[in-house]
Amino acid sequence: MSEAPLPSNPPTVPPPSQECTVLDMVNDPRLTVKLRPIAGDAGLGRPIRHPRVQKCGLALAGHFYGVVPSRVQVLGETEMSFLDGMGGEARSNAARGFFSLGLSCVVITREQEPSRPIVAAAEATSTPLYVSESRTSRTINAIHAVLDDKLAPQASLHGVLVDVFGVGMLLMGKSGIGKSECALELVLRGHRLVADDVVKCDWRPPGMVFGAAAELLRHHIEVRGLGVLNIKDLFGVTSIRERKRIDVVVRLEDWDDTQEYDRLGLEEKWHTILGTPIRLLTVPVRPGRDMGSILEIAARNELLRRAGKDSAREFLGRLEGQLVTGVAMEDQPESLAMLPVAPHVPAGTRDAAKVSGKPGRPSWTSLGDPAGSNESSAWIPAVRPTKEDE
């Protein structure tokens, strides 16, 4: 886990955190298709290291490039009809070449009975061979669902995960900063607790990170002075959730007067979990701040961002438009009229060259005091600079 200023590349697929054997997959109760064993029982302990199956019909024609032995191989109606169309010797050679690759498992779909050369090659190489009663697409989806869960990359984090208005908020920070107290306040406001203290994270395609509680700590929360509380018993089943996608990471830290915090909401920072960047908010904590309300507003703002509405950028855009067009400050709202504003200099005038140092170009103007002398206002950039200005 790390912090990054901005995700420049799409999230990478992290490697699996654990291994799954063929026996584990076929015996999983969540497997919704029935797999009938045909041959290769000696290879049931072979590992499956990739959650996606592979249909590599070209391997039956002798082209083995791209075949990944640690993936489940599926032979559908097209592949089986290709083998059936071969002569006896050619079919035997194709089967021996295919099964000699050390495959973890082969599944034939649509209840098609394999020919004798296929069964013999599977038994000779100890490759588990199964027949599915379902069609190819359903068989593949069922295997994917099981392997996605068994081979999901996983990590454990110290934090608190809550569901606020449907937004998964992971509260992080040093021990004793008040993460559990914030979660308890949110539960009192009608939101749901997912995990406290230890958050078990797992990655799911195409790039989502889900969090859940450790088995021993599920439904429990620790509050200093009160001890360990069972939230489900105290507030009912509507106050807890077993699992939730992590949408926002909120880092709580002690208020530091020397630290510069985001005043406008224009900064975008990201916290990387299992190779996936997740939006990061840094919220300072000090006595008198209503952290429950602040976190609720953060969740509501995240919902607005998902809908394509960014309040901070819209405000800045309106402010720029008014200053660039030379609107008088008396027409501005009282809260803005009280702020010192650098005078707007029309482009192409002699003053513009004096201010910016470049002929015919206005300077980078701003609202407020960059030095931070006016505590009640932020330094608001009113006109974005061009590349030449920078």
Active site residue 309: no
Top pLDDT among 2 and 44 is at: 44
> 20-150: which CATH architecture?
3-Layer(aba) Sandwich (3.40)
Strands 20-21 and 47-48 turn out to be antiparallel
| pLDDT at residue 9 in the model | 56
Q: What is the pLDDT of residues 205-257, one digit of tens each?
A: 888 999 999 999 999 999 989 999 999 999 999 999 999 999 999 999 999 88
| pLDDT at residue 161 in the model | 98
With residue 355 as reference, give the H or E element that holds it.
Answer: helix 350-356
Within 8 A by CB and 6+ apart from 65, the residues are none
Lowest mean pLDDT among 8-22, 49-63, 75-89, 98-112: 8-22
CA distance 103 to 72: 8
Instruction: Spot the catalytic one: 36, 63, 116, 158.
Output: 158
Strands 227-230 and 220-223 turn out to be antiparallel
Instruction: Spot the catalytic one: 179, 220, 244, 271.
Output: 179
Per residue, the 3-state secondary structure of 363-377, as one string, reads: CCCEECCCCCCCCCC
Instruction: Spot the catalytic one: 197, 200, 220, 241.
Output: 197
Tell me the average pLDDT across 26-31.
94
**Lookup result for tokens 């067009």:** 325
Within 8 A by CB and 6+ apart from 152, the residues are 16, 17, 51, 202, 203, 204
| pLDDT at residue 347 in the model | 46
Q: Under CATH, which number does the domain 154-306 receive?
A: 3.40.50.300
340 band by pLDDT with thresholds 50, 70 and 90: very low
Instruction: Spot the catalytic one: 96, 232, 245, 263.
Output: 263
Enumerate the domain spans of the chain: 20-150, 154-306, 312-381
| pLDDT at residue 185 in the model | 95
Are residues 198 and 172 in contact, defined by beta-carbon separation less than 8 angstroms? no
Lowest mean pLDDT among 23-32, 212-221, 330-339, 340-349: 340-349
pLDDT at residue 353 greater than cutoff 80: no
Active site residue 263: yes
Top pLDDT among 162 and 323 is at: 162
